Amino acid sequence: MSMHSLGLGAGTTELTDSEAHSLSEILLTHPFIGATLINSDGDFFWANARSKVLYLGRADFDVTDKTLFDLFPAEWCRERISLMKRLNETGQQAVLRHIRLGQALIVTYHQMPTPASESQRYLVMISETNGDENLLIADDFLRFETGLINLGPLDSLSRRELEVLALISQGLTTDEIAKDLHRSAKTIEAHRSSIARKLGVKNRVQLAELARKAALEIRHADLKRVAVSP
């Protein structure tokens, strides 16, 4: 019976053929966790259906012979490759949160066994999140802060409107938002009406739901907006 070494971060586990095959099948067919195998040059090896849906909008997209730069904006690609190059040096795993198409995602990067002559390979795992800060993440994970954001349906909002929406999601009243942003209550109500009109929603509850889906925070208003594709 042959064995396979599975290396994720600092640990290595020996798997049987059957276990390795089962793990591969789980990753390829998982219903809500995206999984992608990529190297630190940005070359794709495979991606499961969920990963394709989260990033490309369709499960049947073929990533064979594709690179990050074929599918995503150059600035986004350079940021991710820079992260992997950093992990090449430190040997760490990484975790990052970002917003794509108005949905908050949490992403982890794990070094995989790689032939010595090739660029380091990474298993990238992605899941939707609502900004849950109670997730238990090991201390040895590098916490990467992205400077980029794709707001999807929220992209029509101005910087100030994003700030107002973020505070609405926290349950703040108009007066509390006005105080935090050093504006009048009348101005905040005008922003709220503008946000509702742009997003096609009718009440504060619906606005808060959109903000929660993006795990929207005030700081996100200062991030650089990028498109979905090159």
pLDDT tens for the chain, residues 1 to 230: 344 455 544 455 677 778 777 888 888 889 899 999 999 999 999 999 999 999 988 999 999 999 999 999 999 999 999 999 999 999 999 999 999 999 999 999 999 989 999 999 999 999 998 766 667 788 889 999 999 999 999 999 999 999 999 998 888 999 999 999 999 999 999 999 999 999 999 887 888 888 888 989 999 999 999 998 87
pLDDT value at residue 63: 93
Domain end residue (candidates: 118, 149, 180) = 149
Do 123 and 170 reside in the same domain of the chain? no
Could you tell me which residues come within 8 angstroms of residue 207 by beta carbon, excluding any fewer than 6 positions away?
A: 165, 168, 169, 192, 195, 196, 199, 201
Q: Quick one: 82 and 181 in the same domain?
A: no
Amino acid making up residue 143: R
What CATH code is carried by the domain that includes residue 41?
3.30.450.20
Do 136 and 112 fall into the same domain?
yes
For residue 113, how far is the Cα from the chain centroid? 24
- The model's pTM is 0.87
- Token pair recorded at residue 8: 């994720």
Backbone angles phi, psi at 34, to 5 degrees: -80, 145
Task: Give the end of a domain, one of 133, 149, 165.
Answer: 149
Q: Give pLDDT, residue 12.
A: 54
Q: At what angle do helices 174-181 and 185-199 cross, to 10 degrees?
A: 110
Residue 224 lies in a domain: no
d(CA 94, CA 92): 6
Residues 177 and 102 in one domain: no
| pLDDT value for 4 | 47
User: Could you report the per-residue pLDDT of 169-205, keeping only the tens digit for each?
Assistant: 888 999 999 999 999 999 999 999 999 999 999 887 8
Residue closest to 139 by CA, chosen among 95, 107, 106: 95
Q: Assess if residue 226 is contained within a domain.
A: no
Residue 45 lies in a domain: yes
Are residues 115 and 173 located together in one domain of the fold? no
Q: Which pLDDT value is given to residue 70?
A: 96
- What confidence score (pLDDT) does residue 131 get? 63
Which residues form the domain of 209? 152-213
Q: Are 94 and 186 part of one and the same domain? A: no
pLDDT recorded at residue 132: 63
For the domain that residue 209 is a member of, what is the CATH number? Answer: 1.10.10.10
